[in-house]
Structure 1
């Protein structure tokens, strides 16, 4: 009977793979553990060597943190009896202190069990080193906003991006961290002084990286100012600009709300004409008293997402044709920028710079000139040609 039991015992050991024993000691936990490193960055894979006495034949290295999946070392190798080396993948792992667990695994018959040594807070995962390697695009005009893509390392949520050159600076908006090596953001360059700028990135942990001379802001379109002619007696000839065209002059009253002809005119459901937006002498800057008309148009466009807003840019009759075309185009662009900031997509805004060619008032006096310094706003369900748009805009 005893021989049968002994035979069954030996057979069970053979089937189960035998009795797993440590190289030093019998079913012991690792002792006198020492690690080759105590920290690593969260965008890397590192090699960790563990030196310890009483390592078993089957050893496991793990990093443990409450609320986080365990990090298990892979590619284990055993260069010496008292040493085991593995690879820890720390990419996108939680920042902070982790416990280190070195485990000896044993088997007896069909039973598996473990003996482990735990080092509390024995390893720290830190933020990756912040760095910049590339920027696209490298330049843009100072007339609009531009989307920028950054390539580098160590990008994390909360990263801030700034353009600066020691004189002026501009922070980025809509910063999106796509990965630890790729980030997108958007700069509003309107009003930013032209020149070469450094690109500065600041991480949520205070790390900084600067890409010198990374971005250039090109000068905005500059339209020369025409001088307002000084008042002269009626018997004298009006003053002329350098190119022989009479400059614009300020009216006795500025057009706007309450000016005859500025009321919103009735239109078919497919077309709607809003109040014009008026501009000061030789200016492209929006006046505060003209913003309600743009806000009304923006609200209408948000409610009607399929149509277009046709912008007709105008000047008065004076000045040469080329200058007036530039001035009208710049006024259209000022209106577009404002509407885009109100959430309107640029592709829905169509501009036609008519210059002095399509006056709403045909008089040759300051009031008529002031009324013609404007941008007309026409909603249409379809894209209109300049001629068709003017037919619907004309008073």
Structure 2
């Protein structure tokens, strides 16, 4: 027997007991293929009215993305991370939540926030370059859009765990991209969520690239959904362009969390048709043929194929959806083209609860400079008169 010295004393370790896994990992494993509904026999069971509503939502979502992208070209937005091609994930994420639930979006998930009811211009405030998020998270139950990768995930777990301790009927849905799963925050969030059995759902939109880095250079796992097993939670794999499938899978995970059975990790296989942002040149790392292939699996086209097959899509219905989308875009243009009323003195608000001497000095200096500029302008206007 091996004898080890422990604190100067002989230590004789006991033989290890027979090891047994704490649970069967089988039920936690995702399916081999992404779950699909549209284009399969299961599509017939999708409610017709729901399908038509989803179609309108997707059309509006696509137009929202197009208009926001155009606003960046016009200088009205500093940057815009488009979800063109990913609208099914965004729309489904908003639809599965009850009023009391919380959404924790990444920087790319403005459409999910708008679909949940947030004012479109408010959702774009941060991307416009303003100093605040543009909306009240507590009122909207939408956490601030998160630019750092994956840092919103531990926040979602914390809120969900606190809600459970208080006995509140609240589920948190935390959205993240495939690149965010390479961050330490992702690991910490999933580990704590599983240990605490927190009512939270992790929704990964795998759109193929973390900016320009393909998934195979980020992880060697069979899928991102397989990572769930290592934390002790179920993993689900879904076709992220099939809005009916995403809605079903997310809805099941939300109800599982609400009923006290803990977290779920869902990976939605989708594709970012646009560049990472307006500052990105996607042609440097992917081919036109690849993009064209994914355009053939467009989430709007999948819904329209099902609607057409069931005789639910006519010219009048299509026109109504288009008009609703154009109304949204027109409102965005009108309000975003209005110049914001800015007060430079707001720079010093909310920096410290009690301003420091240096901050007070800088504030006084700026006030004097602004007053001098105002006096100079008034004098010049007086001379011209």
TM-score (norm 1): 0.20
* Larger relative contact order, structure 1 or 2 (CA cutoff 8 Å, min sep 6): 2
Larger strand fraction of residues: 1
Q: Which protein has the larger Cα radius of gyration, Structure 1 or Structure 2? A: 1
Question: What's the TM-score, normalizing by structure 2?
Answer: 0.20
From the two aligned structures, give the one with the greater helix fraction. 2
